[in-house]
Structure 1
Amino acid sequence: MVGVAGLAVCGFAGAGAAAQPGGGYAPTGPGAGAVVLGGYTQVVAAATVGPEGGTVTGTVEGGTVEVQAPAGALPAGSQLRLTTASIAEVTAGLDDVGYPGYSVSATLGVAVYNADGTKNTALFSGPVTVVVTGPSITAGQVVLRMDSTTSATPEPATVTDGRAEITITADPAFAVVKAPGGAVPDATTAQTGSWPGPWNGAAVGLILATAAAGCAVAALALRRRPAHRLR
């Protein structure tokens, strides 16, 4: 399953990890039998990367991408192609994959072809690292694996200001996206850990002070009650 990996930089942070085959996991991208949101058909760079490994870089919409294949990860004579997709097109389609209101910071695809020009549909022999850098990428954004034109799955990744990194062992398509208002997905507010709505520090402090005073009064009343003697 080594073909196209489409990457769009988006919303929530995670730890870098290798992508593993799972339910519905299949080669995606041009010529791999599956169509994903955005297509990722615009080739921006290509290079032959064999068993000795190598690095391929390219400029995509929203930033720059570097793909690092270690020694032994790809078969001899493999051609590694970097692609990109329209940020506007991918953003417009995020509603269809279950992420309404999200926006895209950058897009990337990685396609691996065999020496005879056919698409490589096998797992990599080792993990390949994909690094995307761009001004719109910020900590808290997330990488989505684009499974089709109507489905996407959050993918473990490391996202910091200006940089997103993911490790792949096959060819899923990815989208790295930003949540509405910068909110962390599934968080109750845009600022995780803060009081929602109109609550602020002064209001919370007043509530806590009032509660403490009530507790003190109750404790004093209990101490003043006469003890009941057993008969």
Structure 2
Amino acid sequence: MSDTESFLYRFSFDHDDLVNYPWSHRYVTQEEILRYLNHVADEYDLRQYMQFETELLSADWCEEEAAWKIQTTNGAFVARYLVTALGLLSKQNFPDIPGLASFQGQLTHTASWKEDIVLKDKRVAVIGCRSTGTQVVKAIADEARSLHVFVRHPQYSVPSGNKPITPEYRQDINNRYKEIWEQVRNSQVAFGFEEVTRPVISVSAEERVKVFEDLGLKAMDSDSCLAGSPS
């Protein structure tokens, strides 16, 4: 599930598509994301510009030609611009835990989750509990026989408030799309809500706890629009 509300987890360049393409819940899931991406690819006939099953082998900048010399498993290319777009978390990381190589159980990573993995009646351990880990714990807690979560530094999470959207909610979003994108483009984190400008250390510890608790309650309110790590 995305950590951004569904009305923002999409491309902003086509207003008609923004107001007409459906979504079911306040936070979009993997299945819906894939369906939406296929929709955009079909709508703009983008597959003619895509090359699948291709691995990038090397990319070298040529100063004399002011171009990239790119080698792939399906041929060579010369490009003025190269955008890798891998994302900050594209590389899977398994922590260097003594004995991990000799672990006899099934080891998996959320970035390469196996569709046929069986957790029912199994002893399960989750290492790390940020946004994805929080969602994993919630999804498998009732299925596993036992579940242990290993966390170095606990993070603050609030209920996502995820729920089916109503026609009234969707109409309100459609009416405000221009305003919404204007706010997003001029915000610090681009999550579609007004950021707090008051520094967290400007108040006492007691008041901080109160603010956090109040935000948690608002997140559970059906009219709230908080985004963050779903729990």
Same-fold status (TM-score > 0.5)? no
Bigger share in strand: 1
TM-score, normalization by structure 1: 0.20
Q: Answer 1 or 2: higher relative contact order, Cα 8 Å, separation at least 6.
A: 1
